[in-house]
């Protein structure tokens, strides 16, 4: 009788269960064992902030299938066909003998598991900053079910009212909303001068910041945490600029790969952290695979070709499928990620795919950018909401390199279109001509992502001369002798004015008749509500011989200051 292929999977949250489940579908006779150090397997950690907020009543729902069946070890054995050992830790890998030494945490006993193929899916662990006071009570890292359940219990039973979030990334943004909805006073501390510094360009982040402040969240930017103070439990967070009272603190300053087991086994790891894998998620030992938050892939970024660490459940599940396929003999490589991420921040969506303008400059890439603002649906529909899009493209190759979406409008569909375009190397011309679904409840006749592509093409072709809000603000603050040309209607002008004495108001419809009122020896920055009319004003002025004209991209709606 032939011996079944023996596969051991270390880690039971995302990549591990995906690998084991897929493998049993491909190779039903494979002998698969998944071990997990914790007591819970296959849970949706990304849903933890929404449990804290109170959107669903039981944290255990994050372990259930879509039809409500708990994903327990018994479920995996009966429904999927593989063994799951919880509260079991892998303590040593003997790659020469192809054995894993495991320790059963409840009894302390140890045993060896033999394998033909080994999968390491040990995930990541939250960074713990080396600052005094991190061992005080009422400090959380929201990574596991117990973190969220104990946090909710403490808020309710101890009447905690003041929360300080250290770090303004994904978790910081989502937890700020969750805790604010629970009635807490919330302050977010971030050492950089913007929220989501690795995710959004500054002017896009500032739009989200503006929205967060309107919801009552305090933002302490450009502040470094020095210590957490308190007698037994946290009472304040001290930064280099102030002391913030706190009943609880959430530390969300990043995640590092949990690669210690692999390093100890002699597998190749990156000096900056993470197990090095090839396109099939194999480690330096071809019989050992790795995926999820514990790895860094050497070929992941299709734009830069540089290693990219993206600790997301979506990436972990992609790795799991690639690993199972390769073990089963299907050569379908992991083709990388474009750094797509999305986050809900109160009524705003914040998303990004590809590279930011900031990263492009750091990489010395020759890029052009454009910022578009406008409704996600036709203006006459009550459901229409404002959306802001920033697009980054290669000047030389006219290819889309990155896109950011911010606002109340439907940014997710535009983000996904852009992620697909970047993955397949689409040019702006191709993106602007995609046959996207149109009906008034879903989109304007020309979708916002296509309109943004057209705007960027107009800039590249020399028709549109846009200036970003940050560039415009720098010129205003420098006291430049310029003209701010407001081309909105009189009613719009009366309702909301740009607070600067250099503003000249000439409605677009009257611009041709009143064009001589504008000086030819000064720079002119035109704008309207979203700057579509600002662009048209620039073209009218250009046709009349004015060559020192730019429009402020995004208009008044996109002005983040």
d(CA 285, CA 287): 5
**Rounded to an integer, what is the distance from CA 545 to the centroid of its chain?**
45
Q: Tell me the percentage of the chain whose pLDDT exceeds 90.
A: 90
Q: Count the Cβ atoms, other than its own, within 10 Å of residue 433.
A: 13
Q: What is the pLDDT of residues 478-494, one digit of tens each?
A: 999 999 999 999 999 99
**308 within a domain of the structure (yes/no):** yes
- Please give the pLDDT value at position 301: 56
pLDDT confidence tier of residue 311, bands split at 50, 70 and 90: confident
Q: What average pLDDT does range 283-289 have in this prediction?
A: 97
- For residue 292, pLDDT beyond 60: yes
pLDDT confidence tier of residue 339, bands split at 50, 70 and 90: confident
- Please give the pLDDT value at position 299: 45
Which residues, other chains included, contact 354 with Cβ-Cβ below 8 Å and sequence gap of 6+?
A: 303, 338, 339, 340, 392, 400, 401, 402, 403, 418, 419, 422
- For residue 56, pLDDT beyond 60: yes
Comparing CA positions, the residue from 452, 399, 460, 455 lying closest to residue 426 is 399
- The β-bridge partners of 394 are 367
Tell me: do 272 and 232 sit in the same domain: no
CB 481 within 8 A of CB 500: no
Q: What average pLDDT does range 364-388 have in this prediction?
A: 96
**280 within a domain of the structure (yes/no):** yes
Tell me: do 453 and 539 sit in the same domain: no
- Please give the pLDDT value at position 2: 58
- For residue 456, pLDDT beyond 70: yes
pLDDT confidence tier of residue 304, bands split at 50, 70 and 90: low
**30 within a domain of the structure (yes/no):** yes
Tell me: do 263 and 244 sit in the same domain: no
Tell me: do 349 and 456 sit in the same domain: yes
Tell me: do 316 and 378 sit in the same domain: no
Q: What is the pLDDT of residues 164-208, one digit of tens each?
A: 999 999 999 999 999 999 999 999 999 999 999 999 999 999 999
Q: What average pLDDT does range 56-83 have in this prediction?
A: 94
Q: Which has the minimum average pLDDT: 1-10, 49-58, 165-174, 373-382?
A: 1-10
When divided into structural domains, the chain yields a total of: 4
**88 within a domain of the structure (yes/no):** yes
Catalytic residue among 46, 269, 343, 528: 46
Domain that holds residue 476: 466-552
**128 within a domain of the structure (yes/no):** no
- For residue 116, pLDDT beyond 70: yes
Q: What is the SS3 assignment for 424?
A: coil
d(CA 318, CA 207): 32
Tell me: do 321 and 345 sit in the same domain: no
| Of 143 and 217, the one with more pLDDT | 217
Comparing CA positions, the residue from 304, 283, 303, 306 lying closest to residue 294 is 283
pLDDT confidence tier of residue 245, bands split at 50, 70 and 90: very high
pLDDT confidence tier of residue 336, bands split at 50, 70 and 90: confident
Provide the residue count of the chain. Answer: 561
pLDDT averaged over the chain? Answer: 94
Q: Which has the minimum average pLDDT: 41-45, 92-96, 352-356, 451-455?
A: 41-45
Tell me: do 235 and 283 sit in the same domain: no
- Among 460, 487, 509, which residue terminates a domain? 460
CATH number (domain holding residue 178): 3.50.50.60
Angle between helices 411-423 and 448-460 (to 10 degrees): 50
Tell me: do 84 and 149 sit in the same domain: no
Helices (H) and strands (E) in the chain, counts: 16, 30
Comparing CA positions, the residue from 74, 63, 83 lying closest to residue 13 is 63
Which residues, other chains included, contact 28 with Cβ-Cβ below 8 Å and sequence gap of 6+?
A: 81
**35 within a domain of the structure (yes/no):** yes
Is 269 an annotated catalytic residue?
Answer: no
- Residue 354: its H or E element: strand 348-354
Tell me: do 119 and 262 sit in the same domain: yes
pLDDT confidence tier of residue 310, bands split at 50, 70 and 90: confident
Q: What is the SS3 assignment for 497?
A: coil
Angle between helices 15-26 and 313-327 (to 10 degrees): 30
Longest CA pairwise span in the chain (Å): 94
Tell me: do 428 and 515 sit in the same domain: no
Tell me: do 349 and 450 sit in the same domain: yes
**314 within a domain of the structure (yes/no):** yes
- Four-residue CA torsion sign, 164, 166, 172, 173: positive
**561 within a domain of the structure (yes/no):** no
- Look-up of token digits 């090839």: 278
- Edge-first strand listing for the sheet containing 386-394: 341-345, 348-354, 400-407, 386-394, 367-375
The secondary structure of the chain in percent helix, strand, coil, rounded to multiples of 5, reads 30, 25, 45
**b/e string for 451-470 if b means 16 or more Cβ within 10 A?**
bbbbbbbbbbeeebbbbbbe
- Please give the pLDDT value at position 305: 65
Give the CA distances from residue 304 to residues 277, 308, 362, 417, 427, in Å, rounded to whole numbers and listed in that order: 18, 9, 11, 20, 17
- Please give the pLDDT value at position 1: 47
| Of 229 and 308, the one with more pLDDT | 229
Q: What is the pLDDT of residues 261-277, one digit of tens each?
A: 999 999 999 988 999 99
Q: What is the pLDDT of residues 505-549, one digit of tens each?
A: 999 999 999 999 999 999 999 999 998 999 999 999 999 999 999
- Among 429, 460, 491, which residue terminates a domain? 460
The phi, psi pair for 421, rounded to 5°, reads -60, -45
Q: Tell me the percentage of the chain whose pLDDT exceeds 70.
A: 97
Tell me: do 150 and 114 sit in the same domain: no
d(CA 53, CA 152): 9
- Please give the pLDDT value at position 412: 97
């Amino acid at each position: 009788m032939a011996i079944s292929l023996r596969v051991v999977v270390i880690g039971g949250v995302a990549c591990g269960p995906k690998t084991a489940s897929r493998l049993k579908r491909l190779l039903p006779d494979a002998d698969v064992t998944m071990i997990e150090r914790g007591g819970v397997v296959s849970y949706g950690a990304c849903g933890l902030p929404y449990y804290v907020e109170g959107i669903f009543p039981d944290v255990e729902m994050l372990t259930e299938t879509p039809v409500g069946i708990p994903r327990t070890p018994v479920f995996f054995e009966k429904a999927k066909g593989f063994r799951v050992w919880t509260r079991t830790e892998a303590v040593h890998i003997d790659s020469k003998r192809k054995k894993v030494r495991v320790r059963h945490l409840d009894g302390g006993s140890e045993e060896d598991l033999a394998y033909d193929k080994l999968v390491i899916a040990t995930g990541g662990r939250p960074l713990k900053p080396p600052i005094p006071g991190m061992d005080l009570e009422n400090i959380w890292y929201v990574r596991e079910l117990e973190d969220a359940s104990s946090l909710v219990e403490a808020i309710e039973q101890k009447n905690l009212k003041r929360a300080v979030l250290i770090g303004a990334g994904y978790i910081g943004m989502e937890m700020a909303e969750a805790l604010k909805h629970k009635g807490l006073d919330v302050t977010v501390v971030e050492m950089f001068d913007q929220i989501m510094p690795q995710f959004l360009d500054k002017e896009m982040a500032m739009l989200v910041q503006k929205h967060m402040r309107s919801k009552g969240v305090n933002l302490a930017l450009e502040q470094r945490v020095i210590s957490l103070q308190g007698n037994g439990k946290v009472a304040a967070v001290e930064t280099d600029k102030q002391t913030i009272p706190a009943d609880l603190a959430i530390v969300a300053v990043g995640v590092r790969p949990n690669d210690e087991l692999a390093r100890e086994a002699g597998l190749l790891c990156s000096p900056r952290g993470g197990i090095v894998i090839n396109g099939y998620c194999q480690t330096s030992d071809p019989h050992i695979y790795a995926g999820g938050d514990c790895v860094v892939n050497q070929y992941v970024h299709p734009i830069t070709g540089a290693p990219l660490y993206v600790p997301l459940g979506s990436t972990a599940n992609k790795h799991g499928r690639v690993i199972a396929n390769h073990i089963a003999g299907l050569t379908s490589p992991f083709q990388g990620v474009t750094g797509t991420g999305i986050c809900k921040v109160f009524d705003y969506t914040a998303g990004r795919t590809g590279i930011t303008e900031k990263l492009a400059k750091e990489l010395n890439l020759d890029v052009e950018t454009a910022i578009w603002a406008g409704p996600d649906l036709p203006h006459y529909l009550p459901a229409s909401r404002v959306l802001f899009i920033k697009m980054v493209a290669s000047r030389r190759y006219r290819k889309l390199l990155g896109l950011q979406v911010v606002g109340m409008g439907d940014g997710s569909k535009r983000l996904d279109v852009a992620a697909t375009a970047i993955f397949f190397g689409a040019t702006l011309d191709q993106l602007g001509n995609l046959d996207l679904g149109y009906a008034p409840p879903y989109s304007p006749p020309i979708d916002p992502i296509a309109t943004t592509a057209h705007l960027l093409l107009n800039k590249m072709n020399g028709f549109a001369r846009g200036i970003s809000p940050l560039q415009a603000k720098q010129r205003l603050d420098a006291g430049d002798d310029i003209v701010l040309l407001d081309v909105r209607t009189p009613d719009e002008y009366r309702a909301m004015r740009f607070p600067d004495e250099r503003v000249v108001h000439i409605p677009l419809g009257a611009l041709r008749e009143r064009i001589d009122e504008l000086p030819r020896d000064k720079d002119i920055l035109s704008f309207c509500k979203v700057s579509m009319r600002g662009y048209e004003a620039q073209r009218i002025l250009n046709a009349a011989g004015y060559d020192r004209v730019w429009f402020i991209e995004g208009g008044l709606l996109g002005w983040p200051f």
